[in-house]
């Protein structure tokens, strides 16, 4: 039986990686908000 929790690395990077965020205006807002907040990790 497979475990239910096992992420796909490629899928994760493509949907919520840094370059995916920079592609759209809203994603850029996300990155800038996380920069403002002082997050150590801006994206996945």
- The residue-averaged pLDDT of 12-37 equals 97
Contacting residues for 24 by C-beta, under 8 A, at least 6 apart: none
36-41 LR contacts (CB < 8 Å, sep 24+) = none
| 26 compared with 5, residue with greater pLDDT | 26
If 0-12 CB within 10 Å is exposed, 13-18 middle and 19+ buried, where does residue 21 land? buried
pLDDT at 7: 82
Q: Please check whether residue 35 lies inside any domain of the structure.
A: yes
Q: What domain range is 35 assigned to?
A: 9-44
The token pair that represents 44 in the structure block = 């996945």
Report the domain count for the chain.
1
**In which band, very low, low, confident or very high, does the pLDDT at 10 lie, cut at 50, 70 and 90?**
very high
- The enclosing domain of 28 has a CATH number of 1.10.287.3980
pLDDT at 6: 81
- The residue-averaged pLDDT of 1-23 equals 89
Q: Please check whether residue 1 lies inside any domain of the structure.
A: no
Q: What is the pTM of this model?
A: 0.76
């Amino acid at each position: 039986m497979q475990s239910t929790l096992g992420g796909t690395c490629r899928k994760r990077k493509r949907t919520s990686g840094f370059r995916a965020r920079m592609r759209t205006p809203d994603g850029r807002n996300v990155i800038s908000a996380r920069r403002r907040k002082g997050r150590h990790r801006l994206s996945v």
